[in-house]
Amino acid sequence: MSIPFQLFNCLELSGKHFPYPDQLCRLAASGEYPEIYPWWFIDANSDAGRLAWSVRQHDGRNLVPFAKVDDGRGDVACFDADSDDAAVHMLVLDESGRRYSYPSFAAWLRAAQADAAKYQ
């Protein structure tokens, strides 16, 4: 079963265009993506999407959320809307001070798949 999801229209929401990685755009449009539970992709048109958009500047950065993990961390995977860098930055909401990132969407996806392998 494939379940497409909607990415945020940053131009409409924030007045600034954000170029998503092609691989993420293909996954969102087709809904065909690898198993990544406990991660899940955020649908911009869902309640979770509206919540993710509302907390995206929690730590002062201008982030564009696209995925969340539900394994006790509760972190949100995002792109930096103010950068041309394709890195994935993690929005950590638990006030622990943790900060981590991945150099690209592909690197984040490999890490998410590695997390998912722990649950299979």
* Per-residue pLDDT tens digits of the chain, which is 120 residues long: 689 999 999 777 777 788 999 999 999 999 999 999 999 999 999 999 999 999 988 888 889 999 999 998 889 999 998 888 889 999 998 888 899 999 999 999 999 999 999 988
Examine residue 76 and state whether it is found in any structural domain, yes or no: yes
pTM: 0.92
Please choose, from the candidates 22, 109, 10, the residue with its C-alpha nearest in 3D space to the C-alpha of residue 57. 10
The pLDDT value recorded for residue 1 is 60
Examine residue 4 and state whether it is found in any structural domain, yes or no: no
The pLDDT value recorded for residue 71 is 92
Total of domains in the chain:
1
Domain that holds residue 94: 10-117
Most distant CA pair in the chain: distance in Å? 41
The pLDDT value recorded for residue 80 is 92
Examine residue 62 and state whether it is found in any structural domain, yes or no: yes
Q: Could you tell me the CA-to-CA distances from 8 to 51, 71, 96, 98 in Å, in that order? A: 12, 24, 27, 25
Examine residue 2 and state whether it is found in any structural domain, yes or no: no
Examine residue 64 and state whether it is found in any structural domain, yes or no: yes
Examine residue 75 and state whether it is found in any structural domain, yes or no: yes
Examine residue 5 and state whether it is found in any structural domain, yes or no: no
